[in-house]
């Protein structure tokens, strides 16, 4: 079992032959195809995905008809390698004997009717600690105000017999908040009612993951907001070292890499240099991270923590040696061999300190791709795994955090929204596990009638974020109108009062006093074009209009009942990087982006996961007079769901409405909407039609 083809798998590889005209352009001269089979990889090089023997004509570079080739992974393929390693481990079987999660059945065969074994060892032991379950329930309902469905999930988390808790919910339903409450209460009630377990080596810790840095950070922010209520928890934000490059320096100290040096040693020296620079930044309090979460970054927190240990701490002597060692490395000149030896010594000291450091960490927040980092695998021992935004995670992604911590995990929470993901192919044609990965695990669970009928999953049914006018079209299009609006979203907000006053004075009678409306830019002179030399579209007219509206909102004097609109109130989304850049440049030129703590956010839909704003602008950008009905990938159902669900109180959509709405009214082929739900643009038609009836 592997992510890549096994030995003996038929394979076809294509090579393109290019001619260069002497300038910057390359023209493809010809393309050649070679057929063969995957063979055993005896080199075992970490950057080689697989080897194959292929035949074909001509092998112009080798003068041979039959050659061996290797497929090598670059620096951007870390996820593929970690998935490959996870699949390779999974092939040997995952499940524990005893009280752990039945991973083989859960991850590889879903929850089937014969799943009757008690695997939730943590829940099973709850009876040994009177009062823990009751306090967990009481705080979830009374202190944090969870609704009935959120409380249903809380009950399922505490009492299910599988060790697996699955939470479905539409965007804005409070999935992340519900998960944050559950994991915070997991930490605090375990500490209160299971005293002494930390000293016995059974401290309850959480590995919190998501499919992106943004989603992981958003969940961390929610937990930080809850932390004052529940007491001080030790959270760490882990990104696995970030992007490593050869041009590393710190205040004139340059790390030189000799030409022709062995690649493995080169990578190790660069990585050592990177982490060493991070050490110096952290110890000096000059972290280069611009994030509001920088104090939770692993390296920064590690040095802050060991510096806080008292003189009678068991590792105080090692800390003193380590600090002197790091200081000496920066003051002395060493040869490459000496430096390598000293870095190895530094790593030995760090291993001792890491063990003590992670013993006091309550939760690590890390994207799925980084969850198998060697430091976490060696020193962090979670008992609960949380995967947020799990609906879009393929099986290899889910295995990545499971494999390194298999023996210690007692419970897992999966949260996400499988509805916009739907029935799609993942990794189609890449390997023999296409059938297994055709749907994400969460989609499989969502479609599993047994899981639905036996209350093995919880589906939230109330949305807490968006005004009904904003969420209504999404609710009807994606969720069949089943999601209920809570009372707070119906209330009049001070931000919307100010925004409505501004738009009334700006647009006059054309504005209908709504919280959601579209602005048409369909004239030929507003055509989109590629941003500078790139292939990504931008639309100058839409960018100008959005920036002007943003500037007007920020400077508008609030009426009675309103408040001043601030940069942090505004989020701008567009599907294209070219348009994102164009809008950002114009905002900078106007000087209205804001400060680090109070700024306008601009993002593509996928980067906007987990974000929300009081006022949202959407630039659809596409306007091609030669192809007026062209929607390219802006009609993607998943992206539409994300993009149109970020606003709390006001949503303004700018786009090429006239040709689209004409096609909708005429029910042109592919634009029939609800009358033809199998149409490719069904969701796009319903969303756009709701803006321009």
Tell me which of 369 and 427 has the higher pLDDT.
369
Q: pLDDT class for 433, splitting at 50, 70, 90? A: very low
Render pLDDT for 635-680 as a digit per residue (tens, 0 to 9): 888 889 999 999 999 999 999 999 988 888 888 887 876 655 555 6
Tell me which of 415 and 282 has the higher pLDDT.
415
* Torsion angle of C-alpha atoms 666, 669, 671, 675, degrees rounded to 10: 90
What does the alpha-carbon distance between residue 211 and residue 546 come to, in Å, rounded to a whole number?
A: 30
The answer to whether 657 touches 487, Cβ cutoff 8 Å, is no
Assigned fold of 94-453: Rossmann fold (3.40.50)
Closest of 506, 499, 501 to residue 614, by C-alpha: 499
Closest of 165, 113, 104, 159 to residue 134, by C-alpha: 159
Per-residue model confidence (pLDDT) at position 268? 45
Lowest mean pLDDT: which of 468-482, 597-611, 646-660? 597-611
Residue 34, both tokens: 């070679």
Q: What is the mean pLDDT of residues 208-229?
A: 85
Closest of 60, 70, 72 to residue 32, by C-alpha: 60
CATH number for the 468-691 domain, one of 3.30.365.10, 3.10.20.30, 3.40.50.300, 3.30.560.10? 3.40.50.300
Per-residue model confidence (pLDDT) at position 152? 93
Per-residue model confidence (pLDDT) at position 471? 92
Say if 94-453 and 468-691 have the same CATH topology.
yes
Closest of 647, 567, 575, 638 to residue 612, by C-alpha: 647
pTM of the complete model: 0.77
Render pLDDT for 522-543 as a digit per residue (tens, 0 to 9): 888 988 988 877 788 899 999 9
Tell me which of 18 and 4 has the higher pLDDT.
18
Per-residue model confidence (pLDDT) at position 262? 46
Per-residue model confidence (pLDDT) at position 10? 66
Q: Which residues contact 224 (CB under 8 A, 6 or more apart)?
A: 235
Per-residue model confidence (pLDDT) at position 397? 77
Tell me which of 209 and 299 has the higher pLDDT.
209
What does the alpha-carbon distance between residue 38 and residue 50 come to, in Å, rounded to a whole number?
A: 7
Looking at the predicted structure, is the pLDDT value of residue 395 above 70?
yes
Q: What is the mean pLDDT of residues 392-411?
A: 81
Q: What is the mean pLDDT of residues 17-30?
A: 52
The answer to whether 613 touches 648, Cβ cutoff 8 Å, is yes
Looking at the predicted structure, is the pLDDT value of residue 557 above 80?
yes
Q: What is the mean pLDDT of residues 617-622?
A: 94
Separation of CA 208 from chain center: 12
Q: pLDDT class for 567, splitting at 50, 70, 90? A: very high
Per-residue model confidence (pLDDT) at position 358? 93
Q: What are the residue ranges spanned by the domains of the chain?
A: 10-72, 94-453, 468-691
The full 3-state SS of 227-270, as one line of letters, equals: HHHHCCCCEEECCCCCCCCCCCEECCEECCCCCCCCHHHHHHHH
Q: pLDDT class for 363, splitting at 50, 70, 90? A: very high
Looking at the predicted structure, is the pLDDT value of residue 13 above 80?
no
Looking at the predicted structure, is the pLDDT value of residue 60 above 70?
no
Looking at the predicted structure, is the pLDDT value of residue 345 above 70?
yes
Render pLDDT for 93-109 as a digit per residue (tens, 0 to 9): 666 544 466 666 666 55
The shares of helix, strand and coil residues in the chain, as percent rounded to the nearest 5, are 45, 20, 40
Per-residue model confidence (pLDDT) at position 269? 46
Tell me which of 200 and 460 has the higher pLDDT.
460
Q: Which residues contact 580 (CB under 8 A, 6 or more apart)?
A: 574, 602, 603, 604
Report DSSP state, residue 141: I
Q: 410-448 burial string, b = 16+ CB within 10 Å, else e?
A: bbbbbbbbbbbbeeeebbeeebebeebbebbbbbbbbeb
Per-residue model confidence (pLDDT) at position 63? 55
Q: pLDDT class for 384, splitting at 50, 70, 90? A: very high
Closest of 317, 322, 321 to residue 302, by C-alpha: 322
Q: pLDDT class for 357, splitting at 50, 70, 90? A: very high
Place of tokens 């802006």: 634
Per-residue model confidence (pLDDT) at position 252? 30
Report DSSP state, residue 677: T
Render pLDDT for 151-181 as a digit per residue (tens, 0 to 9): 999 998 998 877 888 899 888 888 999 999 9
Per-residue model confidence (pLDDT) at position 506? 93
Per-residue model confidence (pLDDT) at position 669? 80
Percent of the chain past pLDDT 90, that is, above it, reads: 26
Looking at the predicted structure, is the pLDDT value of residue 3 above 70?
no
Looking at the predicted structure, is the pLDDT value of residue 289 above 50?
no
Report DSSP state, residue 174: -
What does the alpha-carbon distance between residue 377 and residue 381 come to, in Å, rounded to a whole number?
A: 8
Q: 507-521 burial string, b = 16+ CB within 10 Å, else e?
A: eeeeeeeebbbbbbb
Lowest mean pLDDT: which of 254-263, 546-555, 595-604? 254-263
Looking at the predicted structure, is the pLDDT value of residue 566 above 90?
yes
Q: DSSP readout, 111-131?
A: --TT--S---HHHHGGGGSTT
**Furthest C-alpha separation in the chain:** 82
Tell me which of 658 and 73 has the higher pLDDT.
658
The pLDDT mean for the chain works out to 76
Place of tokens 């994207």: 367
Q: What is the mean pLDDT of residues 364-387?
A: 89
The answer to whether 11 touches 55, Cβ cutoff 8 Å, is no
Q: pLDDT class for 110, splitting at 50, 70, 90? A: very low
How many C-beta neighbours within 10 Å does residue 158 have?
Answer: 22
Per-residue model confidence (pLDDT) at position 490? 63
Percent of the chain past pLDDT 70, that is, above it, reads: 66
Q: pLDDT class for 334, splitting at 50, 70, 90? A: low
Lowest mean pLDDT: which of 54-63, 208-217, 303-312? 54-63
Q: pLDDT class for 600, splitting at 50, 70, 90? A: very high
- φ, ψ of residue 355 in degrees (nearest 5): -60, -45
Tell me which of 652 and 346 has the higher pLDDT.
652
Looking at the predicted structure, is the pLDDT value of residue 333 above 60?
yes
Residue 667, both tokens: 């029910």
- φ, ψ of residue 139 in degrees (nearest 5): -70, -40
Q: pLDDT class for 58, splitting at 50, 70, 90? A: low
Report DSSP state, residue 152: H
Q: DSSP readout, 428-490?
A: TTTSTTTTTTSS-HHHHHHH-HHHHHTT-EEE--EE-SS-HHHHHHHHHHHHTT-PEEPGGGG
What does the alpha-carbon distance between residue 116 and residue 51 come to, in Å, rounded to a whole number?
A: 43
Question: Residue 580, SS3?
Answer: helix
Lowest mean pLDDT: which of 6-10, 47-51, 271-275? 271-275
């Amino acid at each position: 079992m592997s992510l890549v083809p096994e030995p003996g798998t038929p394979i076809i590889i294509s090579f393109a032959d290019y001619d260069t005209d002497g300038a910057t352009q390359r023209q493809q001269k010809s393309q050649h195809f070679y057929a063969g089979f995957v063979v055993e990889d005896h080199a075992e090089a970490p950057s080689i995905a697989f080897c194959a023997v292929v035949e074909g004509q001509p092998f112009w570079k080798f003068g041979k008809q039959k050659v061996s080739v290797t497929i090598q992974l670059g620096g951007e393929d870390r996820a593929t390698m970690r998935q490959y390693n996870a699949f390779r481990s999974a092939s040997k079987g995952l499940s524990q004997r005893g009280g752990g999660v039945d991973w083989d059945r859960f991850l590889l065969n879903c929850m089937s009717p014969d799943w009757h074994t008690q695997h939730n060892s943590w829940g099973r032991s709850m009876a040994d600690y009177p009062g823990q379950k009751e306090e967990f329930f009481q705080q979830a309902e009374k202190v944090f105000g969870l609704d009935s469905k959120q409380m249903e999930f809380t009950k399922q988390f505490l009492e299910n017999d599988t060790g697996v808790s699955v939470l479905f919910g539409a965007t804005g339903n409070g999935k992340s908040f519900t998960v944050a409450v559950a994991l915070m209460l997991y930490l605090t009630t375990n500490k209160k009612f299971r005293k002494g377990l930390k000293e016995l080596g059974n401290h309850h810790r959480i590995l919190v993951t998501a499919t992106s840095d943004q989603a992981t950070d958003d969940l961390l922010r929610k937990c930080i907001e809850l932390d004052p209520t529940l007491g001080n928890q030790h959270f760490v934000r882990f990104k696995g070292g970030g992007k490593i490059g050869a041009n590393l320096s710190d205040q004139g100290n340059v790390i030189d890499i000799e030409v022709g040096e062995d690649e493995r040693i080169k990578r190790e020296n660069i990585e050592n240099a990177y982490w060493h620079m991070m050490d110096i930044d952290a110890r000096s309090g000059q972290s280069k991270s611009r994030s509001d979460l920088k104090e939770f970054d692993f390296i920064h927190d590690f040095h802050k923590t060991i510096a806080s240990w008292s003189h009678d701490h068991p590792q105080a002597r090692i800390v003193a040696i380590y600090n002197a060692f790091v200081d000496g490395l920066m003051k002395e000149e060493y040869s490459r061999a000496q430096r390598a030896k000293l870095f190895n010594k530094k790593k030995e000291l760090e291993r001792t300190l890491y063990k003590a450091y992670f013993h006091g960490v309550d939760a690590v927040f890390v994207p799925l791709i980084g969850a198998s980092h060697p430091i976490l695998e060696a020193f962090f021992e979670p008992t609960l795994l949380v995967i947020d935004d799990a609906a879009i995670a393929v099986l290899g992604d889910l295995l990545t955090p499971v494999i390194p911590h298999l023996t210690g995990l007692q419970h897992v929470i999966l949260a996400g929204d499988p509805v916009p993901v739907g029935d799609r192919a993942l990794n189609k044609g890449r390997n023999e596990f296409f059938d297994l990965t055709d749907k994400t695990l969460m989609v499989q669970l969502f479609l599993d009638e047994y899981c639905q009928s036996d209350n093995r999953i919880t589906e939230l049914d109330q949305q807490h974020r968006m005004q009904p006018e904003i969420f209504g079209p999404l609710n009807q299009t994606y969720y069949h109108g089943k999601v209920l609006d809570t009372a707070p979203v119906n209330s009049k907000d001070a931000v919307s009062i100010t925004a409505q006053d501004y738009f009334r004075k700006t647009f006059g009678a054309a504005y209908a006093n709504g919280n959601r409306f579209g602005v048409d830019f369909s004239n030929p002179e507003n055509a989109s074009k590629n941003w500078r030399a790139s292939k990504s579209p931008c639309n100058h007219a839409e960018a100008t209009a959005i920036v002007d509206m943003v500037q007007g909102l920020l400077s508008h004097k609030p009426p009675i009942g309103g408040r001043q609109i601030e940069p942090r109130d505004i989020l701008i989304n567009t599907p294209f990087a070219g348009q994102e850049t164009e809008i950002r440049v114009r905002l900078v030129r106007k000087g209205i982006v804001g400060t680090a703590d109070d700024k306008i956010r601009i993002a593509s839909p996928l980067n906007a996961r987990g974000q929300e704003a009081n006022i949202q602008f959407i630039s659809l950008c596409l306007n091609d007079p030669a192809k007026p009905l062209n929607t390219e990938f802006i009609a993607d159902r998943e992206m539409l769901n994300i993009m149109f669900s970020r606003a709390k109180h006001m949503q303004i959509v700018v786009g090429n409405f006239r040709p689209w709405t004409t096609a909708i009214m005429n029910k042109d082929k592919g634009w029939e909407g609800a009358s033809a739900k199998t149409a490719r643009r069904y969701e796009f038609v319903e969303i756009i039609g709701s803006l321009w009836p």
